[in-house]
Structure 1
Amino acid sequence: MKRLIAAAALASGLAAPAMAAPLCEDLGFAGLLAACNRGEDIPLTLASGQPLGEDVQLQSGAYYTLVITADGSAELAVEGASFFRAIWMNEIVINSIEIRPMAIDSIEFDKAGVVEMSFIAIKPGTHVLRIPGSTGESQQIKISIQ
């Protein structure tokens, strides 16, 4: 279907519209959750005085896992309401317990632990995940959805 739209646009002399596409051609029965549509994991580290992580660029329509690891050095959280509203959350896994939320604003760690959040990137734009109350550049990451 996408190829037909692009071909029609080219035939009419118009430039093809920019389209976000999944990472693979044939998604099969699993749809957007197919293994071929999965991007690399996005690691974040919550540790007192340490950088949160690296800025990342995601493809709209692709499936990703955000892995947040807290070392327990301080009670820390990560927030980013605009990011959490620009994605469809499949699940959040905490201590092998799967949670399927409608929406979240932040995740807070009182002690060491790991949270894995799987999602599909939806809404294009640049979003910030940060440690609440922090002002340093290393205490935030920018996530761009293309």
Structure 2
Amino acid sequence: MKTLLLAASATLIAGAAAAHDFGFAGILSNTNQGEDLPTLTLASGQPIADGPIELESGKVYELEIEADGSAELGLEGPGFFRNVWVNEVVINGLEIRPYGLESVEFDQAGTMEIEFIAIKPGQYFLRIPGSTGESQRVDITIR
């Protein structure tokens, strides 16, 4: 009897799934894409960004960072990186899927793309390590 009930249940579930194309939901939905973010620039004596960045929790974003090679520069932001989920980091076409990040650094000119999902609302920043100037940091708000 149990076998008959299990077989009938499996048939009903399979039929219902075949009748509907549910597609992706939540984070995997293509309606979950955030707007384009401004490119961050790492260049000696130049501001990182034109202004602050606002993100929406639960949305997928791609952050592009360009370095001109004028100096060995990096970005740190442990508070930011601990409150987003990093899907991948792409450097020269190579994809890296890290467990987490705390900082990135450029020893020469290049471009890096970081795809992430904004998770925890709050006020965060990315800055050049050891710098104190306002133009050497970008404030990020996750709503």
TM-score range, shorter chain: 0.7 to 0.9
Report the counterpart of residue 94 of structure 1 in structure 2. 91
Question: Which residue is equivalent to 2:41?
Answer: 45
| In structure 2, C-alpha distance between the alignment counterparts of 1:77 and 1:105, rounded to whole Å | 11
Residue of structure 2 equivalent to 1:11: none
Q: 2:138 aligns with which of 128, 141, 145?
A: 141
- 1:32 alignment partner in structure 2: 27
Letter in 2 for 1:140: R
The answer (yes or no) to whether the contact 1:33–1:63 under 8 Å persists in 2 is: no
Q: Which amino acid aligns with 1:34?
A: S
Q: Are residues 124 and 71 of structure 1, via their aligned partners in 2, closer, same or farther at CA, if it must alter by over 3 Å?
A: same
| Number of the residue aligned with 1:113 | 110
Can you give the 5+ residue segments of structure 1 that lack an aligned partner in the other structure? 1-26
TM-score by length of structure 2 reads: 0.80
Provide the TM-score with structure 1 as the length reference: 0.78
Identity of counterpart residues, as a percentage?
Answer: 60
Please state if 1:125 is matched with 2:111.
no
Match of 1:14 in 2: none
SS across alignment from 1:45: strand
Separation in structure 2 between the aligned mates of residue 30 and residue 136 of structure 1, nearest angstrom = 42
1:40-94 Cα offsets, whole Å, 9 max, x none, are 2321000000000121110000000010000111100000000000001110000
Tell me how far apart the structure 2 counterparts of residues 133 and 85 of structure 1 sit (CA, whole Å). 20
Structure 1 residue 37: Cα displacement: 1.4
Long gaps (5+) in structure 2: 1-21
5 Å-filtered alignment, 1:45-84, equals 45-53=41-49, 54-84=51-81
RMSD across aligned C-alpha pairs, in angstroms? 1.4
Decide which structure has the larger Cα Rg and report it. Answer: 2
SS at match of 1:134: coil
Runs of 4+ displaced beyond 2 Å: 33-36
